[in-house]
Structure 1
Amino acid sequence: MSKIVWITGASSGIGEALVYEYFKAGDKLIISGRNRDELFRVKGNCQNSFNVHVLPFDLSETSELDSKAKDAIKIFGKIDLLINSGGVSQRSLALETDIKTEQQIMNTNFWG
């Protein structure tokens, strides 16, 4: 029985790899990330991708999370599995990282 899976961070890395695995398993997918073009590239890599829906959004925009969740549920009527693979990193020492960058990291990786 197929599942309805929502994957964030689906435009690259682990999230993208998960899209292909769940697609091969016959599941219905909602794929999200910040880069709309990359999400459509990933969708295009899934043959007969009518069960793959693109829902772009930025996890760091915490004010949008509730409305995006409602949008995702409207696509298939429910979500069986949510995989939060989206995230950001900073390649600098904590002492060298400004507060704005720290807030973006927390908004995306913790609150998102």
Structure 2
Amino acid sequence: MFLYALLVPIISIIAIIWFIGRYLNNKNSLSTVVLWSIFWIFVSLFAIFPEFSNAFARIFGITRGLDFVIILVFVVLFYTILKLYFVIDKMQNNLNKVVKEVALNNEITLDDEEE
């Protein structure tokens, strides 16, 4: 058995426990925990049983299991980047609203400057 077939499941278990801990501390939603747990379970299965990736590859019309794993990783990374983009965009919009409100509440008129 290869070393990665032993290490990857251990890393996967740690990652799943970490996500569950973040959920219990109200830092992640349940859907996030479920999605990442499914992802890490599949990563573990692909590490322990490499032929498992070949079966999934054939289902999706991909010739090799390794190609399927690489495409899967790109999809997960793209999803993560897109989700981060939306979070940052929302934060930027909220920051703009707060700055506008503060600016309007602390408006300085020309009469105030002369005093």
TM-score by length of 1: 0.27
* Structure with more of its chain in strand, by fraction: 1
Q: Which has the larger radius of gyration?
A: 2
Higher normalized contact order (CA 8 Å, seq sep 6+, divided by chain length): 1
